[in-house]
A and B are shown apart, each in its own frame.
Chain A
Amino acid sequence: ETGVTQSPTHLIKTRGQQVTLRCSSQSGHNTVSWYQQALGQGPQFIFQYYREEENGRGNFPPRFSGLQFPNYSSELNVNALELDDSALYLCASSQGRFSGANVLTFGAGSRLTVL
């Protein structure tokens, strides 16, 4: 069984640019969540996709958007990058939409640096 893979692992952008991060979910999982982890902080929830629809969103502005594809892989897009967007972006997959018991499987993250 393959785990969660994310790409790219590292990238550098300048303020105002746009970025797309990608995530392949674990086999058999239909839910993908994205988290932002700033340096020295715990991860913060951005949004969640279940069967290609966004079904939950944290306190992030609309310039953070996403997609989930029929194969349950996902993209996170960030427009008009700001310096504070520099962080580790984690993708997590799980099976099922609503259950606190669902175990999330995390990827190793994409480290974004905004200059």
Chain B
Amino acid sequence: AQTVTQSQPEMSVQEAETVTLSCTYDTSESDYYLFWYKQPPSRQMILVIRQEAYKQQNATENRFSVNFQKAAKSFSLKISDSQLGDAAMYFCAYRKASGYSTLTFGKGTMLLVSP
């Protein structure tokens, strides 16, 4: 069974600084997708970034980028130029690429952003 581990319950960053959130996972599959979701106090899960395991190039979305290390089964999220609106719970998630599959989430990391 797949597992997703986020070892940082809480992280803090100052506005305009850079922060990295860690995620490791375990799977026997060779093709899969990894995701970072943001859950603000409004509770709605918002997709931040997605990475396919077969793509060696790390995904980027504006200020958000990932460091995907397939052999190490590591998938960290880097937020550059942090903004107050980035404050939220961040969840790392895994999903098999083909066949029946559901999202498996980690426990989340609370990101605090201070002025």
Q: How many chain B residues touch A (Cβ–Cβ < 8 Å)?
A: 29
Of residues 61 to 89 in A, which have CB atoms within 8 Å of B's CB atoms?
A: 88
CA–CA, A58 to B95, complex, Å?
14
Given known contacts A42-B91, A106-B44, A108-B42, A98 and B103 CB-to-CB distance under 8 angstroms: no
Pairwise interchain contact A101-B52, C-beta atoms closer than 8 A = yes
Q: A40-B107, A100-B97, A103-B50 are in contact. Are A45 and B43 (CB under 8 A)?
A: no
The distance in angstroms between the C-alpha atoms of A108 and B99, with both chains bound, is 27
Which residue of the partner chain, among A42, A98, A111, contacts B101 with CB atoms under 8 Å? A98
Contact across chains for A43 and B105 when beta carbons are under 8 A apart: yes
Given contacts A100-B32, A101-B52, A103-B47, contact A58 B102 (CB under 8 A): yes
Chain A nearest Cβ from B60, distance in angstroms:
17
Contact A108 B43 (CB under 8 A): yes
Interfacial residues of chain A within 1-40, with CB under 8 A of chain B in the complex = 33, 35, 40
Q: How far is the CA of A42 from the CA of B109 in the complex (A)?
A: 10
Q: Known A98-B100, A101-B33; judge A42-B45 contact (CB<8 A).
A: no
From residue A18, how far is it (CB to closest CB) to chain B in Å? Answer: 23
Given contacts A56-B100, A101-B33, A103-B50, contact A108 B44 (CB under 8 A): yes
Interface residues of A (CB under 8 A from B): 33, 35, 40-45, 48, 55-56, 58, 88, 90, 92, 97-101, 103-104, 106-109, 111
- 26 examples of A-B residue contacts, CB within 8 angstroms: A40-B107, A41-B107, A42-B4, A42-B91, A42-B93, A42-B105, A44-B105, A45-B103, A48-B102, A56-B100, A88-B43, A90-B45, A98-B98, A99-B98, A100-B31, A100-B33, A100-B98, A100-B101, A104-B45, A104-B103, A106-B46, A108-B43, A108-B44, A109-B43, A109-B44, A111-B43
